[in-house]
Amino acid sequence: MRNVAHIFHSAARAAKKPISFEVFPPKGDLTHEVAREMASHLVKLHPDFISVTYSAGGGGNKQATAAIASMIQDDFAVPTVAHLTCAGMDEAAYERAVGELQAYGVHNVLALRGDLPQGDTSAKAVHQDHDMQQQPFVYACDLMQRLVADGFCVGGAAYPEGHVTCFDDAANIQHLKLKQDAGASFLITQLFFDNDCFYRFREAALKAGVDVPLSCGIMPFLSKAQIQRMVFMCGASLPAPIIKLLARWESDPESLRQAGIEYACNQLVDLARHGVDGLHVYTMNQPDIAHAACSALRATGQV
Question: What DSSP line would sit under the chain, residue for residue?
Answer: ---HHHHHHHHHHTT---EEEEE----TT--HHHHHHHHHHHHTT--SEEEE-S-GGG-S-TTHHHHHHHHHHHHH---EEEEEE-TT--HHHHHHHHHHHHHTT--EEEEE--PPPTT---HHHHHH-GGG---S-SSHHHHHHHHHHTT-EEEEEE-TT--TT---HHHHHHHHHHHHHTT--EEEEPP-S-HHHHHHHHHHHHHTT--S-EEEEE----SHHHHHHHHHHH-----HHHHHHHHHHTT-HHHHHHHHHHHHHHHHHHHHHTT-SEEEEE-TT-HHHHHHHHHHHHHTT--
Q: Is residue 203 annotated as a catalytic residue, yes or no?
A: no
pLDDT of amino acid 179? 98
The residue annotated as part of the active site, out of 22, 100, 254, 262, is 22
Residue 154: give the domain boundaries.
4-299
**CATH classification at residue 284:** 3.20.20.220
Q: pLDDT (tens digit, 0 to 9) for every residue of the chain, 303 residues total?
A: 689 999 999 999 888 899 999 998 877 566 788 889 999 999 999 999 999 998 544 444 566 899 999 999 999 999 999 999 998 899 999 999 999 999 999 999 999 998 655 545 444 444 444 444 567 898 999 999 999 999 999 999 999 999 888 888 999 999 999 999 999 999 999 999 999 999 999 999 999 999 999 999 999 999 989 988 888 888 899 999 999 999 999 899 999 999 999 999 999 999 999 999 999 999 999 999 999 999 999 998 877
pLDDT of amino acid 135? 78
Domain count across the chain: 1
